[in-house]
Chain A
Amino acid sequence: MEAQQESIAALEAEIRELQASLQRKKDELHSLKQSTVTAGKLTNNDIARYSRQIILPQVTVAGQLKLKASSVLIVGAGGLGCPAGLYLASAGIGELGIVDYDTVEVNNLHRQVLHSELTLNLPKAQSARAALQQINSQLKVRTYEVQLKSENALEILQPYDIVLDCTDNVATRYLLNDACVLLKKPLVSGSALQFEGQLTIYNYNGGPCYRCIFPTPPPPETVTNCGDGGVLGAVTGVIGSLQALEAVKVLLKLDGTLAGRLLIFDGTASSFRNVKLRPRREDCAVCSAKATITKLIDYEQFCGMRASDKDMALKVLQSDERISVEDLKSIRDSRKPHLVIDVRNPLEFEICHIEGSVNIPLKQIIEDKGLDDLKQRTSGGIPVFVFCRRGNDSQLAVKHLRKKLEGVAEAKDVVGGLHAWHYRIDNNFPIY
């Protein structure tokens, strides 16, 4: 058995190396072929390749040339970005940008169809680029292996004609909306969860932006991500493919786009529903004449949620603003007065919590709900220690609380949260 495991590992390593050298050859070939791409006219190869869509009266030679001269930015190379990229690359779009800081995980493969067993652990942007250029060697792809943030969004979006929101979290959706409004770019926004999907185009043809429809972000405890709620691959496939369709229609300036309408897909009933959205809000915070947002803001703070759909080690605090589980344990053992706050949502608090801890969800902390009560409980400098599941949300809470409790008490983040408590202090404490 063990010998077999070793041979498998050795072979896998060898294949990975061969793949890397194959990819280098492919890149070399691709850059040679790129030099043969002719701008402004269709080659014989283009005509043959795209003939089935060129003969459509909505496309024609002029339309195909437009697509060839177009650039599309795909934000998120996941369940939506993969099928969207597939159809855009195949349709002969000249240039695609792909933004994704993540690597390919095995739990992605049921829906993220550009990635494969062979590209596990590779950056998703690279994996997607290789798959797309294998399909279409004429395609230019630019990859951005970074998290989209207020600091880099405008620069990354700037060169593209249109942006596809294929992301997985609320904060990035607000960020993309505001960036597209500021840059006057249409935003094809898709989303999916479980058996359902939603799709529209924001900020296009006089239609509303995301903030016109949703001026206020949803309470964090009402937001479910794919990791927690699950999602069917074919459902993201439907929505991602439709995002490519809408992008092509925008690039060809065709009528009938989803601007001003929302498409709702229910995979359980295989039903599509098309609803009419409100027009632009006259008092929209970003797209109206009365806009108060004229540059990008801190979207994690605005939403009270992190810009990710999974746990990752966030570091927003200095080390003296944090405490280890071991040090907290000795403070608790010494029975010195202190207050433990747990910032998870009430449902999770119900699953398990540190004895004597008080549940104040992150959103409430950000909104300063119960701040006066908190000031009273900590008056005289009673130290506050803040927990969450893995020590990310608690940092956002502490960052906020340190400002609000200044001169009253000091708040510290418990590094690693309840997970660290389980692994290093109390193995009987449940983990989820």
Chain B
Amino acid sequence: MGGTDLPLVLEFGGGAELLFDNVKKRQVTLDGSKTWKIKELLGWIRDNLLRERPELFLQNDSVRPGILVLVNDADWELLGELEYELQPNDNVLFISTLHGG
């Protein structure tokens, strides 16, 4: 226990939460005995959280165009995108861009 857990906070916004039972924020715990890159987290999300129509969230092993990924409030591009290695208590926000006015 404890030492081998990887606790994360996952958040969804801008409408992306609609694909996740309309839950905007959730606490998850991954198996900390191995390392987790974001690309593996995406697979985990697909298998464990995404209920239907995965193409509205994922495309070609990444998030679909129009979804921005932020790790601890920084654009994931600054951290290596899919290759970023998740740390305990990281906050990962998936935000869909809005276009209305």
Contact = CB atoms under 8 A, between A and B. Distances in A.
A277 interface: yes
Given A275-B75, A278-B77, A214 B97 contact: yes
A222 B78 contact: no
Nearest to A78: B101
28 contacts: A79-B100, A167-B101, A169-B99, A191-B99, A191-B101, A192-B98, A194-B15, A196-B14, A196-B15, A198-B14, A198-B95, A198-B98, A218-B65, A219-B55, A219-B56, A219-B59, A222-B64, A224-B100, A229-B15, A264-B13, A264-B95, A266-B13, A274-B73, A276-B74, A276-B75, A278-B75, A278-B78, A309-B100
A121 B95 CA distance: 36
B78 to A, nearest CB: 6
Contact of B66 (A79, A169, A218): A218
A104 B76 CA distance: 41
Given A198-B14, A275-B73, A278-B78, A214 B100 contact: no
A219 B70 contact: no
Contact of A214 (B24, B66, B78): B66
Interface residues on B, range: 20 to 34
A191 B100 CA distance: 5
B101 A192 contact: yes
Given A222-B56, A275-B73, A278-B75, A193 B98 contact: yes
B75 A231 contact: no
Interface in B30-85: 55-56, 59, 64-68, 70, 73-75, 77-78
A190 to B, nearest CB: 7
Given A194-B15, A223-B99, 9 more contacts: A81-B101, A167-B101, A197-B98, A215-B65, A217-B65, A221-B56, A264-B95, A266-B24, A276-B74
Contacts of A277: 75
- Nearest first, the 4 closest Cβ-Cβ pairs linking A and B are A218-B66, A216-B65, A278-B77, A191-B98
Contact of B101 (A168, A224, A273): A168
A170 interface: yes
Interface string A153-171: 0000000000000111110
B51 to A, nearest CB: 15
Interface of A: 76, 78-81, 166-170, 173, 190-194, 196-198, 213-219, 221-226, 229, 231, 236, 262, 264, 266, 273-278, 309
Given A191-B101, A231-B100, A275 B65 contact: no
Contacts of B101: 76, 78-81, 166-168, 190-192, 226, 236
Interface of B: 13-15, 24, 55-56, 59, 64-68, 70, 73-75, 77-78, 93, 95-101
B43 to A, nearest CB: 20
Nearest to B57: A222
B57 to A, nearest CB: 9
Nearest to B56: A222
Contacts of B14: 193, 196, 198, 264
Nearest to B75: A278
A219 B13 contact: no
Contacts of B70: 275
Contacts of B65: 214-219
A222 B99 CA distance: 11
B100 A222 contact: no
